[in-house]
A and B are shown apart, each in its own frame.
Chain A
Amino acid sequence: AQSVTQLGSHVSVSEGALVLLRCNYSSSVPPYLFWYVQYPNQGLQLLLKYTTGATLVKGINGFEAEFKKSETSFHLTKPSAHMSDAAEYFCAVSSWGAQKLVFGQGTRLTINP
């Protein structure tokens, strides 16, 4: 079975500061990894995904994530936070043939002016 653990249900950073949201996964097979963002009263929107190949993945809005197999991690980063980044972020895992996403519990990101 696959699972995802997001460390920290709530992260708060200042505008312009580094954003780091942590995600660790468990999978017995090579994983596909995703980050989704959810703004208030909206559905989830894909930020980025890793399937195979380059382990550093760039997504929308300046976000990126690095797949580290040895650490079973897929942490999400952004060099400089904007107020518009305030939202809930979800890490998710799938795998070849699995056809479904398993989500972590989410991390709420707050940006302080």
Chain B
Amino acid sequence: EAGVAQSPRYKIIEKRQSVAFWCNPISGHATLYWYQQILGQGPKLLIQFQNNGVVDDSQLPKDRFSAERLKGVDSTLKIQPAKLEDSAVYLCASSPRDRTGGANVLTFGAGSRLTVL
């Protein structure tokens, strides 16, 4: 099966500019996650979707970050305006509908590396 697709792989922008990342999950996967991975740290969950509904966005900086998954398939993550501290790899992951109570395995994309100058 095809994996989780993400684009762009790399993006360099100036602070206060905007950027958008796109993710296409594995076909049929109901749950989609966006994680932020800052250099030297583990991934941190930004937002989780179940189909096109938000399950958890408690750690999403809503003043500058937004995400949508309009048709319950692909998703976009937007940052506007970007700050220096947003430099990170943005990982998208997907998993099947959770029938295991939390033991689902996440499949990750290769990530989108953002550098904010």
Measured CB to CB, the residues of A under 8 A from B are: 4, 6, 9, 32, 34, 36, 41-46, 49, 51, 90, 92, 94-106
CA distance A94 to B98 in the complex (A): 13
List, in ascending order, chain B residues with CB within 8 A of A106's CB: 40-42
CA distance A96 to B100 in the complex (A): 8
Main secondary structure of the interface of B (DSSP, over half): loop
Interface pair A43/B42, CB less than 8 Å apart: no
Centre residue among A4, A101, A106 by max chain B CB count within 10 A: A101
CA distance A102 to B42 in the complex (A): 9
Measured as residues with beta carbon below 8 angstroms from the partner, the interface class of chain B is 20 to 34
Nearest B residue to A31 via CB reads B102
Interface pair A49/B45, CB less than 8 Å apart: no
Kindly list the 9 A-B residue pairs having the minimum CB-CB distance in the complex, ordered from nearest: A43-B108, A103-B42, A96-B101, A44-B108, A51-B103, A98-B102, A94-B102, A32-B103, A105-B42
Q: Which of B96-117 contact A (CB under 8 A)?
A: 98, 100-111
Interface pair A49/B102, CB less than 8 Å apart: no
12 further contact pairs, Cβ within 8 A, besides A99-B98, A99-B104: A9-B40, A43-B111, A44-B93, A44-B106, A49-B103, A51-B103, A90-B43, A94-B103, A99-B31, A99-B102, A100-B33, A104-B42
